[in-house]
Amino acid sequence: MNYREAMEYIESLQVLGSVPGLENMINLCEKLGNPQDKLTFVHIAGTNGKGSVSAYLSAVLAAAGYRVGAYNSPTIREYRERICVGGRMISQKSFSELVTIVKEACDVLVSEGKTHPTPFEVETALGFLYFVQKKCDYVILECGMGGKLDATNLIKNTKVAVLTPISMDHMSFLGDTISQIAENKAGIIKPGCQVVSAQQSEEAAEVIGRICKQQSIVPQWVRTEDASDIRYGLKQQSFVYQNQLAVIISLAGKYQIENALLALKVIDVLREAGVKIPEKAVLKGFASAKWSGRFEVLAEKPVFVADGAHNEAGARKLAQSIQFYFTNKKIIYIMGVLKDKEYGKIIELTAPFADQIITVKTPDNPRALDAYELACAVSEYHPKVTAAGSLEEAVEMSYLLADKESVIVAFGSLSYLGRLMDILEKRQRKV
C-alpha cells in the first residue's frame, strides 16, 4: 500500500464515526501483538490544554535525552502530525507500511465476525506500533475524547495520568454534568500511577479526589501561586516557578501559564519517580516548545491570531486573552464552528470584543455549520456580521476591514485553521 492508498483507506473509515468503548481496541491490539504493553506513557485527558501540555512535556523529555513519542489529535496542517517521535511526524513510508499491517489485522477481525475498528482506533494502534518500532523511552499520549472509554485507555503502563481543566464538551458522549464528564476523563487513572491535575471546579475536583482515594493514590494539584513574577507577551512569556526557576515560554495566550504550570508539576513527579531531567533540559524544553493554532500569532501589522477555541471553556480563555493583550484595539473575527458544538455559548463569550465578525463554513467537514446559519446566530449578539463564501474571501475581507493597528482573530474549529494558515502564507508572499 502506498501513501495515497493508505490515506484513502483511512478516509474510507470515516463513515464508521466514533464509538466509545475498548472492545474494538482490545481486539485490534491483540492481533497486532499488544504493542502498547511495550511502552511507558504519560496519559493526558481533559477538556482544553492537552496539546499544549503534551508539547511542553515532549520538548523537555527530548531535551533531557529521551526518545519521546507523542500522539495528539486533531491536527492542524498535516494528518501525520498526530504521530510524532522527537518532534518529527511519521514519514509517509512508515505510515503506509503500518497502515497495511493494521488493515490486515482489521480484515481478520471482520472475517471473524467482529466489528471493524473506527478511524481513531486504527490511528491509535498504528501509533503504538510506530512508537515501539522507534524504541521510544516515553510516549506522551493524548486522549481523543473522554478517558474511561477512549481508545487510548487500554494501556497498562501509565507512569503519570494528567488531567487538564475539565469543562462541558462532547456532552452527547460524556454526560451533561461536570461530575459525569470528570468521572469519564478521570477513567485514565490506574492503580500504581501518579496523578497530576490542573486546578478544577469543585465538582471535578471531588470526582478526581474520590477516584484517587479508591486506588490509594495521592493526587498532585497545580497551584496558581507556584507562578510569580509573570510577564505576558505575544512572542515570549515568562514566570518564576516555585520562587526558584525562571521559565520562559514561546507560546502566547494568558492561559499558557496554567498549561506550563501543569507540565512543570508533571516533571516534578517524574523526577521524584527517578526520571533524570536536568534543569537545563526543563528550561530548553519550555523555551523551544511549539503548538500550532493555540493563540498563535501568524502575522503582524495587522496582528493575525489563530486559536482553536471550539467549546465554552476555550472561548472563555480566548476572550480573556483578547481582553488582556488587545485592549482598545479594533478587532475583527473570522469564525467557523461545527454544528454539534455549543456555538451559542462561544458567540456569547467572544462577540462583545469584536468590531466586526466574519463567519465561514469549515471546508470538507460534514459536521461544519453553514456560514450563513452561523452569521444568523451571531447577529443575536452582534450587529456587524457577514457570512463569507470561502476562507479566501474571509481573509481578504478581514484585511480590507483592518488597518495596521488592528487585530484579526480566526478561531473556532481547529479543522479549518491549517487551510487558513496556507491561505495567509500565500497572501503574504504576494504582498
Q: Whole-angstrom Cα distance, residue 306 to residue 391?
A: 13
Q: Which residues contact 120 (CB under 8 A, 6 or more apart)?
A: 18, 73, 144, 151
User: In which residue are the cell numbers 503574504 written?
Assistant: 428
pLDDT band at residue 169 using 50, 70 and 90 as cut-offs: low
E strand or H helix at 24, and its extent? helix 23-31
- What is the phi/psi pair of residue 66, to 5°? -90, 155
Nearest Cα residue to 87 out of 272, 291, 262, 244: 291
3-class SS of residue 213: helix
For residue 170, pLDDT over 60 is answered with no
Position 173 scores a pLDDT of 64
- What is the phi/psi pair of residue 246, to 5°? -85, 110
For residue 357, pLDDT over 80 is answered with yes
Instruction: Look over the chain and give the mean of its residue pLDDT values, rounded to a whole number.
Output: 94
Q: Where are the alpha helices (H) located in 48-91, listed in sequence order?
A: 50-63
Q: For the segment 5-25, what is each residue's pLDDT rounded down to a tens digit?
A: 999 999 999 888 877 789 999
| Strand ranges (E), 147-294 | 158-163, 194-197, 220-221, 227-231, 237-241, 245-249
Q: For the segment 402-423, what is each residue's pLDDT rounded down to a tens digit?
A: 999 999 999 998 889 999 999 9
Omega before residue 302 within 30° of 0, cis? yes
User: Are residues 200 and 208 in contact, defined by beta-carbon separation less than 8 angstroms?
Assistant: yes
Position 172 scores a pLDDT of 55
For residue 316, pLDDT over 70 is answered with yes
pLDDT band at residue 249 using 50, 70 and 90 as cut-offs: very high
3-class SS of residue 297: strand
Q: Which residues of 316-348 are buried (b: 16+ CB within 10 A; e: fewer)?
A: bbbbebbeebbeeebbbbbbbbbeebbbeebbb
User: Are residues 311 and 346 in contact, defined by beta-carbon separation less than 8 angstroms?
Assistant: yes
Q: 267 or 79: whose pLDDT is higher? A: 267
Q: For the segment 188-232, what is each residue's pLDDT rounded down to a tens digit?
A: 999 999 999 999 999 999 999 999 999 999 999 999 999 999 999
Position 23 scores a pLDDT of 94
Where do the structural domains in the chain lie, given as residue ranges?
Answer: 3-224+253-285, 296-430
DSSP 361: P
CATH, domain range 3-224+253-285: 3.40.1190.10
**Which has the minimum average pLDDT: 125-139, 159-173, 214-228?**
159-173
Q: Whole-angstrom Cα distance, residue 254 to residue 148?
A: 30
The CATH number of domain 296-430, selected from 3.30.70.270, 3.40.220.10, 3.90.190.20, 3.30.110.30:
3.90.190.20
For residue 429, pLDDT over 90 is answered with no
Q: How far is CA 399 from CA 105, 255, 294, 358, 396, in A?
A: 50, 27, 21, 11, 5
For residues 69-94, give the mean pLDDT: 93
For residues 138-159, give the mean pLDDT: 94
Position 421 scores a pLDDT of 93
For residue 118, pLDDT over 70 is answered with yes
pLDDT band at residue 171 using 50, 70 and 90 as cut-offs: low
User: Are residues 176 and 78 in contact, defined by beta-carbon separation less than 8 angstroms?
Assistant: no
Q: Whole-angstrom Cα distance, residue 204 to residue 144?
A: 19
